[in-house]
Amino acid sequence: MRIPCILLAAGASRRLGEPKQLIRFQGETLLERSIRLALEAGCARVMVVLGGHAGQILAEVGDRLAGNSEVEILIHPEWEQGMASSIHAGVRHCQQNGWNSGVMLMVCDQPHLTAAHLRSLLEAFAFHAAERTIASQYGGILGVPAVFPQSEIGHLLELSGDQGARRLLQTIASPVPIACDAGALDVDEPQDRMRLLAEP
C-alpha cells in the first residue's frame, strides 16, 4: 500500500532567523532532503505545504521541484494560524485527490532522519493492515514522522492553533512506536543550525 506524505514546511522560522527549509546539509536543502527521503522510503507522493517565506523558497528550489511529478507544492495562505491549519490544508488536499488509505505527516527540520526509518513506518503501517497509527519515538515521546490511518484523519482535522500531530498522538489508543533517535534533533534555534553545520 502506497500512501502520500504531507510535508509541513510553512513555518516562518522566527526563532532561527532564516528559512530553515533552505538550510543546506550534506549538499542539499533541508526541504529537498526531506522530500527525497520520503520518496526513497516509498511514499506515493509528497505534498509540500508552504507558507512563510514561500516566495523565497520557490525562488531557490522551485525549478528543481517542478520537474518531479511526485511532488506537489501547496501554498497555504492561512499558515500564520498555526501548524494545525497546515495539517488541515494537506489533509484536505489529499482527500480531494482521492488519497483515502492514510497519510504520513513529516516536517522538514529533522536532518538526521533516514529513508530506512520512514520505510519502517510504512512497513509497520502495512503490517497492521492500515488500521493502526505508527509513530516515531524519541526522547521519551511519540512524534513525527508518523503515519495515520483513515480512521484518524478526522481527528487531525480537529487540531487547532499550534497543535501538531504530537498532540493527537497523546490521545490515540495503542499507537505503534518505532524507535527513532535521529528524530530528537530539530533545527529551531541558531545553535541548532551551528551544531548541524559543524558535523563532518
Domains (ranges, CATH) in the chain? 4-197 (3.90.550.10)
The confidence band for 104, taking pLDDT boundaries of 50, 70 and 90, is: very high
pTM: 0.94
Mean pLDDT of 12-39: 93
Task: For residues 49 and 76, give the distance between their C-alpha atoms in angstroms, rounded to a whole number.
Answer: 6
Q: Where are the beta strands (DSSP E) in the chain?
A: 4-9, 24-25, 28-29, 45-50, 71-75, 102-107, 134-138, 141-149, 176-179
Task: For residues 153 and 99, give the distance between their C-alpha atoms in angstroms, rounded to a whole number.
Answer: 11
